[in-house]
A = this chain, B = another copy of it.
């Protein structure tokens, strides 16, 4: 099946799931739910859900388990965007082609909507409907907390904020990105392996795949920040340049960064070899990342 069509299909499914999972806007706290929905139902690529669902399909994993886990992961990703966009963090006005939550509502609402989306993620993944075996749900919950927490995504965001004050080198940026974006991408394939009962060899291959993919994805993002069109991308571009922040492109140059993405993409594909043609759609997703850099 065509990759982009499949990506759109999954994005639509996840949006429908989130629409059902986020409480409707009722009662005096309705403002909170409106803000959560503003952020979560906006038009995102839903790459992390894509990797949960397509990786899980390789193991014939239960679709409801995958979809709920994907929705929970997207809640975590969305909350991180809402908080990252706050004036005291990256101070951004535009996200997913619409005003950020603190612009459309206010700062307090953005803080609380992020908090509520993070909490909801754990409610979803721990919920009975996610898997009949509570031990599996526990594993999914614990690993999500690892990926999202101080030694994962939030830790990476902290390094990102601090590094604004000091010069960055390639090692620091690589570590920062492995935590900030890599941890959730790794979780997406790991969770699929947990749900699908993947063998140790498969889990190992998936972990390697996710690590290379995550970094390739981030370098591609930095390239897009330099070469992209703001209207198409749907968020403010050339922010690193404006802030005088180093990133993969300022450190490696455009051509050096493109070369690095190609290398990482090739490595990522090699990890998938053991899955043979079952991994076709994941292989296509790597080409999609490559295409973004051109």
Binding site for B on A (CB under 8 A): 23, 27-29, 31-33, 36, 79, 83, 86, 88-89, 106-109, 111-112, 114-116, 118-120, 122-123, 126-128, 134-135, 137-138, 141-142, 144-146, 148-151, 154-159, 161-163, 172, 175-176, 179
Contact = CB atoms under 8 A, between A and B. Distances in A.
Contacts of A142: 123, 126-127
Contact of A150 (B116, B126, B146, B150): B116
B161 A108 contact: yes
Given A88-B108, A157-B112, A158-B31, A123 B149 contact: yes
A111 B108 CA distance: 11
Contact of A122 (B23, B128, B145, B162): B145
A179 B29 contact: yes
A86 B111 contact: yes
A254 B215 CA distance: 60
Given A118-B118, A123-B145, A158 B32 contact: yes
B112 A126 contact: no
Contact of A108 (B89, B120, B134, B175): B89
B141 A28 contact: no
A141 B53 CA distance: 24
Given A118-B115, A118-B119, A135-B134, A151 B83 contact: no
Contacts of A118: 115, 118-119
Contact of A31 (B31, B135, B145, B162): B162
A28 to B, nearest CB: 5
Given A28-B159, A106-B88, A161-B108, A154 B122 contact: no
Contacts of A120: 145, 149-150
A142 B129 CA distance: 12
A154 B106 contact: no
Given A28-B172, A86-B111, A126-B141, 14 more contacts: A28-B176, A32-B154, A86-B108, A112-B157, A112-B161, A118-B119, A119-B145, A119-B149, A119-B154, A120-B145, A123-B142, A123-B146, A126-B142, A141-B141
